[in-house]
Amino acid sequence: MANQSTPIIQLTNIGKNYGNFSALKGVNLTVRQGEVTCILGDNGAGKSTLISIIAGLHAHDEGTYAVDGQPVHFSSPREALDRGIATVYQTLAMVPLLSVWRNFFLGSELTRPVIGPFRRLDVDTMWANTDNELRRMGINLADLEQPVGTLSGGQRQVVAIARAIHFGARVLILDEPTAALGVTQSGIVLRYIAAAARQGIAVIFITHNPHHAYMVGHHFLVLQRGQVELDAPRSELSLDNLMFHMAGGAGLDVLEHELHGAPTPAPAVTKEGTAPPAAT
């Protein structure tokens, strides 16, 4: 059951401009503990800009961004990470030739003292922690020494998710985690997205696939040309309705009316007289 207290993240009338171009305008978003919030939209809808703001990569120009009820204005991803907001991008930030456990602690390696001021990698602790965290997420790997590049795409995504949770993520932003995966591997990732939410993690799932979103989502936000096309909880939304909004919403109704239901427009009148009918 999701926590209904103060949202971890609250965006109010968020706007982002690049010169004269408005990438986002008037976007509201609420992210709660234990919920999967799905952000959908076509290419150019504003998804990347929105998650860049949440992750601290870019600052917003308009509106209010609050974390735990306190307004913030992040200037770097490190500041967002310090507040428990972690992002797993499609690239996963992994080194394919390094082992699973080395990738799990990449950039945050544990060390222990040896003679004098020198320290060495604490391999045993890192190996054990990696194994425990992966098992807690429900994934059992026979060999943590194997190169991470030998894992399936779905398994690599799960390793990245488990890594973010281990290092303190309260909010997990997943950028199109199933985009390059087949049906089976997508199922693996969706299963662990649901598992992360059950552990109390707030998940922001960015996708262009309404079927994947509807399988795990609690709340849905559809962006279109930088503005909110749909903002609804699962209880008020069917998959068909989500697909309708994802495909263009009201714009589709207008197009269908133009193509099939509108009367033929009257010929235009010019100085030379009536224009010839348009070609069909």
The answer to the question of residue 278 being in a domain is no
User: pTM of the full predicted structure?
Assistant: 0.82
The answer to the question of residue 146 being in a domain is no
Residue 173 exposed, middle or buried by CB count within 10 Å (0-12, 13-18, 19+): buried
Q: What was the pLDDT predicted at 141?
A: 85
The answer to the question of residue 147 being in a domain is no
The answer to the question of residue 113 being in a domain is no
* Alpha-carbon distances of 204 from 163, 168, 174, 234, 274, rounded to whole Å: 16, 16, 6, 15, 56
The answer to the question of residue 193 being in a domain is yes
Which domain covers residue 212, as residue numbers?
Answer: 9-92+169-270
* Alpha-carbon distances of 25 from 17, 22, 43, 71, 204, rounded to whole Å: 8, 7, 17, 18, 19
Q: In what order do the strands lie in the sheet with 36-40?
A: 85-88, 171-175, 202-207, 36-40, 219-224, 227-233
CATH code for the domain of 24:
3.40.50.300
User: Which is it for strands 273-274 and 269-270: parallel, antiparallel or unpaired?
Assistant: antiparallel
The lowest-confidence range among 11-15, 159-163, 201-205 is 159-163
The answer to the question of residue 117 being in a domain is no
Write the pLDDT tens digit of every residue in 240-256.
Answer: 999 988 876 555 566 55
Q: How far apart are the first and last CA of the chain?
A: 57
The answer to the question of residue 111 being in a domain is no
Write the pLDDT tens digit of every residue in 11-64.
Answer: 999 999 998 899 999 999 999 999 999 999 888 889 999 999 999 999 999 999
Q: In what order do the strands lie in the sheet with 9-18?
A: 21-31, 9-18, 62-67, 70-72
Q: What was the pLDDT predicted at 275?
A: 47
The structure tokens listed for 222 are 């559809």
Q: How many domains does the chain have?
A: 1
